[in-house]
Amino acid sequence: MGAHVVHALEEAVVSLKTLDAVKAQQIVKDDAKLNAMEEEIMDIGSRLIVTQQPVAKDLRRILVAFKISSDLERMGDLALDVAKVTLRLQGQELIKPLIDIPQMAELVQVMIEESITSYLDENTDLAYKMAKDDDQVDQFYSRIITELYGYIASNPETLSQAMLLTLVARYIERIADHATNIGESTVYLVTGRRPDLNQ
């Protein structure tokens, strides 16, 4: 699921940069695969709870798998939302070359990969790194929003597209929050404690 989400985000941002409707439509089609993966994880985990009656860390492992699959599915939905913006912008030219949004997305892709690695390796140090990475994403987000509001102030005709691009930045920022949630789930799996890495 993690690899699927990274790919979906990468393709969604490329589709936006190039206003490639075909690529965006493929992301829309592929979303069903991610939903099916989440359902399969929920089914397997539910069967294990019923048949094995796990306790302590074994139960935490299943509950964490549920939570992480839910976070990944939500990330996929947000990547899908980016692709839908591409479709809404068909027939237009971008008001500016996209630089910060793709850079922000690259950082978020690394966060997704590292959050999954932290979970698979039960690496709490890597999980806690999510908080620092999320702070960087928040800085990108603030910079993008400030720039786009500046465009709106000086060029009111850019309002519609600028607002769509602010939504894209928000979607990517939310994906980072879900990656941070996976870090929190990793810490819970290993220690039984629930830290808040999204502060």
pLDDT in tens, 44-79: 989 988 998 888 888 999 999 999 999 999 999 999
- Residue 91 structural domain: 2-191
Q: What is the pLDDT of residue 55?
A: 84
Q: How many domains does the chain have?
A: 1
- SS3 string, 17-44, reads HHCCHHHHHHHHHHHHHHHHHHHHHHHH
**In a domain? residue 71:** yes
Domain containing residue 10: CATH number = 1.20.58.220
| In a domain? residue 180 | yes
Residue 161: inside a domain: yes
Instruction: Give the tens place of pLDDT for each residue, 150-187.
Output: 989 998 998 999 999 999 999 999 999 999 999 999 99
Domain membership flag for residue 198? no
Assigned domain for 177 exists: yes
Specify if 99 maps to a domain: yes
Query: 196 lies in a domain?
Result: no
Within a domain: 199: no
Q: Is the pLDDT of residue 199 over 80?
A: no
**Segments in the chain forming alpha helices (H):** 2-18, 21-52, 56-88, 100-121, 124-154, 159-191
Question: Are the C-beta atoms of residues 140 and 33 closer than 8 Å to each other?
Answer: no
